[in-house]
Amino acid sequence: MKPASSASSPVSRNDLQTIKSLLPYVWQFKWRVILAMSCLVGAKVASVSAPLYLKDIVDQLGVAPSLLVLPVAALLGYGLARLLTTVLGELRDALFARVTQGAIRRIATRVFEHLLSLSMRFHLDRQTGGLSRDIERGTKGIGFLLNFMLFSILPTLLEIVMVAAILLWRYEWPFAVVTLGTILAYIVFTLVVTEKRMVYRRSMNDLDSKANSKAIDALLNYETVKYFGNEAYELKRYDANLERWVDSAVRNQVSLNLLNMGQGAIISAGIVLLLWLSADGVVEGTMSVGDVVLVSAFLTQLYTPLNFLGFVYREIKHALADMERMFGLLDQGAEVADKPDAACLRADAASVEFEHVDFGYNPDRQILFDVSFAIPAGSTLAVVGASGAGKSTLSRLLYRFYDAGSGAIRVNGTDIRDMTQASLRRHIGIVPQDTVLFNDTILYNIAYGNPLASREEIIQAAKAASIHEFVMSLPQGYDTPVGERGLKLSGGEKQRVAIARTLLKNPPILILDEATSALDTRTERAIQDELSRISRDRTTLIIAHRLSTVVDADEILVMEGGRVMERGSHDTLMRGNGRYARMWAMQASQSDDA
């Protein structure tokens, strides 16, 4: 058997892997990306041009009054540069909006699709609250990463290169050296400190997910919490995680304050040095007042986004940490997967055969040992035995939630591992012991058996399950909400809804997994009659604890410790006076005592 995957600990990834995972979703909108990048470059060229026009305006206005004329060309050039900076920037954002939201939608859909495709083992291990929080943070991180990496970091870096080139071209080399040196020191300091701070962010994410998981778990099991009066216990567990989260959050904030102070010191030093060089040039007569204005404008234009760049980089690292867990979910491999050449099952009738099947959920604990039986098309086989005998495992293997360790399971003579899982499951319907309904209406829950069914077909299925009259007695009829997990309905009502949606599915193979064991005797008898009726002409596997529900089965298997100990009809097994006969006598005496 393959080891269980941990739902709470996705596969470890680095930032480059996370970005590479994102790029294909972005490149699906390549023409929008190309146009947006063209607008970005155009806006930055216009932005860097504006201070050059401003320098010409100042120099032309700085002459003697007798020579003063209006610098029309420079004014128009400056105005056009400012206008283009704004217009192209807004156009860039408008073009890229669909790229961002479209990528988020497709990634979220892909993650949800992948989670639904993962095997039963993953979903038994997962924590719903933490998983939902990972996906929520990850999708928000995508929007932040795309917008700020492309529209803050990339434009700023482009502007840095252009400004440094202009300073090197127009002035002496110290201007470019100071500019680039300041930027380099700023970036290195930001990278080093931010990397050290990421441990706090990851710790905050982990603790946040754990706290959310505990809260969701307690709310889903609200009745159990109330039964045992453990509200204070659940609150303490939740608060303990939040307390640790607060410690990480405080350390994160303090380190952020230290980072901001260091960045401010570096930028201030760079600004003072550049202004010193500019002022010295004016005093020496090598630079004009317009040159000082130009350098000052470049400083304001460059260092403002650079200061913001520190915040953006930190938040991008946070977004990558958030996305890391979400994309890690996509790295979770499916334990049960279709073969590339898997066939599609299509049949109106189906036979089922288990041939020498061994199985264990874990390598050190085997559940089934050499189990063999056959259910001819249209006949009924019942499996009985004590709890833990391996009865319900048979239905999970038939549904292919797990693959058999050895041996084979066949439908119509074909190994189910050679079929697509979707086509196999379309041919199987189940009425489980514990029917869990969606928090929606009765109509929705019945229609789940066949979402394409008409309202009339849904009502016919409800009538066949003997629930129509009950539904019509409700004020909202079929539009009555059933509540979380169907808790607004009684056990018998939920079972009838389960029967109705299975009838609507109309499968050739039917599994009744202890479908009435949690009901009272009167309700059990009524529902048992309905189950007997719907199982006619279907290949039926009944998993039962109460022997009175299986006396009419064509064949009965008695399981113990994962092995088939006896088999035969009810009468044959009673005459054999073995395990089945003893179980029958025990249940009969318990019924008499009751």
Three-class SS of 352-366: EEEEEEEECCECCEC
pLDDT for residue 519: 59
Place of tokens 């018998």: 492
| pLDDT surpassing 90 at residue 354 | yes
**275 in the same domain as 203:** yes
Q: Could you tell me if residue 451 is inside a domain?
A: yes
- Sequence-ordered list of residues with C-beta below 8 angstroms from that of 585, at least 6 positions apart, any chain: none
Place of tokens 């453990």: 230
User: What is the arrangement of strands in the sheet containing 563-568, beginning at the earlier edge strand?
Assistant: 428-432, 509-513, 539-544, 380-385, 555-560, 563-568
CB atoms within 10 A of CB 556: 23
pLDDT tier, 591 (very low <50, low <70, confident <90, very high otherwise): low
pLDDT tier, 9 (very low <50, low <70, confident <90, very high otherwise): very low
Pick the range with the lowest mean pLDDT from 120-129, 213-222, 321-330, 546-555: 120-129
CB atoms within 10 A of CB 195: 10
**63 in the same domain as 196:** yes
| Residue 484 amino acid letter | E
CA 256 to chain centre: 30
| pLDDT surpassing 70 at residue 36 | yes
Q: What is the DSSP letter of 551?
A: T
**246 in the same domain as 193:** yes
Report the pLDDT averaged over residues 33-56. 81
| pLDDT surpassing 70 at residue 58 | no
pLDDT tier, 21 (very low <50, low <70, confident <90, very high otherwise): confident
Alpha-carbon distance of 318 to 248, in angstroms, equals 14
Which H/E stretch holds residue 180?
Answer: helix 173-220
Q: Could you tell me if residue 535 is inside a domain?
A: yes
Using a pLDDT cut of 70, give the percent of the chain over it: 87
Q: Could you tell me if residue 355 is inside a domain?
A: yes
Burial group, residue 341, by CB count within 10 angstroms (0-12, 13-18, 19+):
exposed
Domain edge (last residue) among 281, 304, 330:
330
> Using an 8 Å Cβ cutoff, are 386 and 543 in contact?
no
Burial group, residue 12, by CB count within 10 angstroms (0-12, 13-18, 19+):
exposed
Alpha-carbon distance of 43 to 91, in angstroms, equals 10
123-132, 325-334, 452-461, 541-550 — most confident range: 452-461
CB atoms within 10 A of CB 535: 20
**307 in the same domain as 205:** yes
pLDDT for residue 67: 46
pLDDT for residue 5: 40
| pLDDT surpassing 70 at residue 64 | no
> Using an 8 Å Cβ cutoff, are 390 and 367 in contact?
yes
CATH number at residue 48: 1.20.1560.10
**416 in the same domain as 286:** no
Q: Could you tell me if residue 269 is inside a domain?
A: yes
Q: Could you tell me if residue 181 is inside a domain?
A: yes
**286 in the same domain as 214:** yes
pLDDT for residue 316: 77
**311 in the same domain as 350:** no
14-23, 270-279, 378-387, 482-491 — most confident range: 378-387
| pLDDT surpassing 80 at residue 79 | yes
| pLDDT surpassing 50 at residue 6 | no
pLDDT for residue 472: 92
pLDDT for residue 555: 92
Report the pLDDT averaged over residues 420-437. 86
Report the pLDDT averaged over residues 271-297. 76
**384 in the same domain as 303:** no
DSSP codes joined into one string, 444-472: HHHHTT-TT--HHHHHHHHHHTT-HHHHH
Burial group, residue 307, by CB count within 10 angstroms (0-12, 13-18, 19+):
middle
Q: List the beta bridge partners of residue 419.
A: 343
pLDDT for residue 8: 41
pLDDT for residue 2: 41
pLDDT for residue 356: 93
**478 in the same domain as 422:** no
**442 in the same domain as 303:** no
> Using an 8 Å Cβ cutoff, are 13 and 328 in contact?
yes
**448 in the same domain as 373:** no
Assessment of whether the complete model's pTM goes beyond 0.75: no
pLDDT for residue 128: 60
Alpha-carbon distance of 524 to 63, in angstroms, equals 103
Q: Could you tell me if residue 497 is inside a domain?
A: yes
DSSP codes joined into one string, 136-161: HHHHHHHHHHHHHIIIIIHHHHHHHH
pLDDT tier, 70 (very low <50, low <70, confident <90, very high otherwise): low
Alpha-carbon distance of 16 to 10, in angstroms, equals 16
| pLDDT surpassing 70 at residue 71 | no
Tell me which residue range forms the domain holding 164.
15-330
Q: What is the mean pLDDT of the chain?
A: 80
| pLDDT surpassing 60 at residue 265 | yes
Quote the number of domains for the chain. Answer: 3
| pLDDT surpassing 80 at residue 558 | yes
pLDDT for residue 565: 92
Alpha-carbon distance of 97 to 434, in angstroms, equals 46
Burial group, residue 225, by CB count within 10 angstroms (0-12, 13-18, 19+):
middle
CATH number at residue 486: 3.40.50.300
3-state SS string over 46-102? HHHHHHHHHHHHHHHHCCCHHHCCCCHHHHHHHHHHHHHHHHHHHHHHHHHHHHHHH
Q: Residues 335-340: contacts with CB within 8 Å, 24+ apart? A: 335/2, 335/5, 335/118, 335/119, 335/121, 335/122, 335/402, 335/403, 336/119, 336/400, 336/401, 336/402, 336/403, 336/421, 338/420, 338/421, 339/417, 339/418
Report the pLDDT averaged over residues 371-390. 88
Q: Is 512 helix (H, G, I), strand (E, B) or coil?
A: strand
Domain edge (last residue) among 476, 506, 536:
506
pLDDT in tens, 196-213: 777 777 777 777 777 777
**396 in the same domain as 277:** no
Q: Could you tell me if residue 40 is inside a domain?
A: yes
Alpha-carbon distance of 536 to 380, in angstroms, equals 9
Domain edge (last residue) among 506, 521, 543:
506
| pLDDT surpassing 60 at residue 369 | yes
Q: Could you tell me if residue 521 is inside a domain?
A: yes
Alpha-carbon distance of 401 to 396, in angstroms, equals 5
pLDDT for residue 541: 92
pLDDT tier, 533 (very low <50, low <70, confident <90, very high otherwise): confident
pLDDT for residue 520: 62
14-18, 50-54, 315-319, 434-438 — most confident range: 434-438
Burial group, residue 539, by CB count within 10 angstroms (0-12, 13-18, 19+):
buried
pLDDT in tens, 286-313: 777 777 777 777 766 766 666 666 677 7
CA 275 to chain centre: 52
Alpha-carbon distance of 409 to 404, in angstroms, equals 8
pLDDT for residue 66: 47
Pick the range with the lowest mean pLDDT from 218-222, 341-345, 540-544: 218-222
Helices (H), 484-560: 491-505, 521-534
Give me 496's structure tokens.
């009838």
pLDDT for residue 358: 92
CA angle 317, 318, 321 (to 5 degrees): 90
| pLDDT surpassing 80 at residue 55 | no
